[in-house]
Structure 1
Amino acid sequence: MPLNIHSGKSLNSSQLNALRPVQNKPALRLLFVHGFLGSSQDWLSLVEYLPATWDLYALDLPGHGRASDMPIPSDFDGFVENICQQLQRLPDSQALENPVPDEQVPVFLVGYSLGARLLMHLALQIQQRNIAIAGFVLEGGNFGLQLGSEKQERWQNDCRWIDRFAQQALPDVLHDWYQQPVFSSLTSEQKSRLVEERSRNDGKALAKVMAVTSLAKQEYLLPELHSAGQSTQYKIYYVVGEHDAKFSHLYAQNKVPYEVISGAGHNTHKEQPHIYAQKLTQLLSIAQTN
């Protein structure tokens, strides 16, 4: 479907943002999916470091950014369906369902945290949805919890956050949110800047998102992802920050090959955009030659 595209502007969807569309045929097309609390703007710092021949897009998930007032899907599949709807708004989207060898622009999906978890679900639905995705880059994404006791404990913890997001002043909640161990690599200045940025969101909408996408509600995806990782149809790459002890341990423990971003914690693309972009360029260049 043809689109009237302007660099850095919203397309004909309030969710889809053209970070840097390429006028001529691009070498590949990227769609970025942010994490909980984030927005399409989170990826702007990468643009200057990525190849000029790449088409770059990002979306706002329901409850975030320009999509903060849209209805929140009722389950993970609803969020995945929403991402697929945004894929249909990309240029040449008809080629995703009817790919022509050597003519289609390869499409890669890049997700962080919640975005990575949603893309894990999508990766496992590629065949049934019959869409041609060249690969996935998953940054700081959790496969899910195995034990019922783990899920119960996580749900109890998340419910406390859900109540706070719904009832309390958002800056106060965010201040405490970024004190969690997973964000320990951030400086006080970085945390303050994130609190300021994220305070533009709507707390009640975020509470609804968290209630639906809590890790406690997610299926354990690792066995299926292991199988999918052997696929010749698409590639899956995992990315972890050097100082993200939790996810480095998680991936190593489960024998999942992963790429390390030097000098970064959990949010690698925000903390080290230049290094992250270099790694992304390396991975996707390899993916296209294999």
Structure 2
Amino acid sequence: MLASRFYNSDHRRSLPVIVCLHGFLGDSDDWAQCVEFLADYPVLCIDLPGHGRSKNVHCADFKSCCDQISNVLSHQVPEQAPIVLVGYSMGARIVMAGLANEYFSAFNIKLLICESGHFGLDDEEHKKQRLINDKVWANRFSHETIETVLEDWYQQIVFQSLSDAQKTDLVRKRAKNFGSSVASMLLATTLAKQDFLLDILKTSSVSIHCICGDKDKKFKQLNASSGLPYTCIQQVGHNVHIEDPQAFTNIVKSNVRALSLDAT
């Protein structure tokens, strides 16, 4: 089973459980600062396949990953307790796929917070190019020293808002990953294999709120054109919950209150 950390578990029978899914190369510890600002809520942080304490766990595709997440939820979350899914980047794409394809239908999902999550490519040529690109990265993660690959990984445009010091720190933190494990996860959940989910999400009975950083021009535009409710946080980039955890959690809490989940 996927590794997880449950915080403030004494609240789990009276409040919605906030379930956090990290991004590529991350782990459950990435949510530590957010957990501090969510002290009044039960918070479940899951290590996704190939990452953190789940680095030796693998998945084949989006469905098998969602099935593994469901297994954690079935063991950790009280039956029919309201659940708030919070996903960042890869984690956001996985939970969007799970929601759109009803992989989480056994659970009482009330709200999805999607941070810097791509809704999917709707052009086959773009998917082909993305798969080629991700295969190159996966090959590098599998065969080169992870520090070398990470130094190049964080030079990508999506991370341009990070300072050199922040990039150096991320390389140090992410170097504990196994290259072959993250490579496997990258190919299993590549954007090239993700369906275009936006149309389905817009008709979902689950409330959805997107979050992006003002410095992240790509995802700012994606959210603005999506038709879904979203908040753009000023002075931060792609990883909002790390760069400004208080602003991020304020949005989570305001959306929970708007659905009156606190009273459940």
Instruction: Report the counterpart of residue 27 of structure 1 in structure 2.
Output: 15
Label 1:263 to 1:122 Cα distance change in 2 as closer, same or farther (>3 A): same
Label 1:67 to 1:148 Cα distance change in 2 as closer, same or farther (>3 A): same
* TM-score, normalised with respect to structure 1: 0.85
Amino acid at match of 2:158: V
Match status 1:36 vs 2:8: no
Label 1:274 to 1:106 Cα distance change in 2 as closer, same or farther (>3 A): same
SS, match of residue 184 in structure 2:
helix
Cα shift readout 1:203-261 (whole Å, capped 9, x = no counterpart) = 00111111111111111111111111xx2xx2111111111100111122333331112
SS, match of residue 17 in structure 1:
strand
Instruction: Quote the Cα distance in structure 2 between the aligned partners of 1:249 and 1:281.
Output: 24
Tell me which of 262, 268, 275 is aligned to 2:240: 268
RMSD value over aligned CA atoms?
1.8
Instruction: Report the counterpart of residue 256 of structure 2 in structure 1.
Output: 284
Contact 1:26 1:54 in 2 (8 A): no
Amino acid at match of 1:239: I
Amino acid at match of 2:17: R
Aligned-pair identity (%): 34
Contact 1:240 1:259 in 2 (8 A): yes
* TM-score, normalised with respect to structure 2: 0.94
Match status 1:79 vs 2:65: yes
| Structure 2 residue ranges without an equivalent (≥5) | none
Instruction: Report the counterpart of residue 3 of structure 2 in structure 1.
Output: 15
Q: 1:198-277, aligned counterparts within 5 Å?
A: 198-228=174-204, 231=205, 234-277=206-249
Label 1:91 to 1:157 Cα distance change in 2 as closer, same or farther (>3 A): closer
Instruction: Quote the Cα distance in structure 1 between the aligned partners of 2:12 and 2:231.
Output: 31
Label 1:19 to 1:128 Cα distance change in 2 as closer, same or farther (>3 A): closer
> More displaced, 20-29 or 160-169?
20-29
The Cα shift of 1:153 comes to: 1.1
Label 1:227 to 1:25 Cα distance change in 2 as closer, same or farther (>3 A): closer
Instruction: Quote the Cα distance in structure 1 between the aligned partners of 2:104 and 2:256.
Output: 24
> More displaced, 135-144 or 277-286?
277-286
Instruction: Quote the Cα distance in structure 1 between the aligned partners of 2:13 and 2:120.
Output: 38
SS, match of residue 185 in structure 1:
coil
Match status 1:186 vs 2:162: yes
Tell me which of 152, 172, 181 is aligned to 1:196: 172
Q: 1:95-134, aligned counterparts within 5 Å?
A: 95-96=79-80, 105-126=81-102, 129-134=105-110
Instruction: Quote the Cα distance in structure 2 between the aligned partners of 1:132 and 1:25.
Output: 14
Instruction: Quote the Cα distance in structure 2 between the aligned partners of 1:178 and 1:131.
Output: 36
Instruction: Report the counterpart of residue 89 of structure 1 in structure 2.
Output: 75
Contact 1:126 1:132 in 2 (8 A): no
Cα shift readout 1:269-290 (whole Å, capped 9, x = no counterpart) = 0111111111211111112269
Label 1:254 to 1:54 Cα distance change in 2 as closer, same or farther (>3 A): closer
| Structure 1 residue ranges without an equivalent (≥5) | 1-12, 97-104
The Cα shift of 1:175 comes to: 0.8
Match status 1:63 vs 2:50: yes
Amino acid at match of 1:28: P
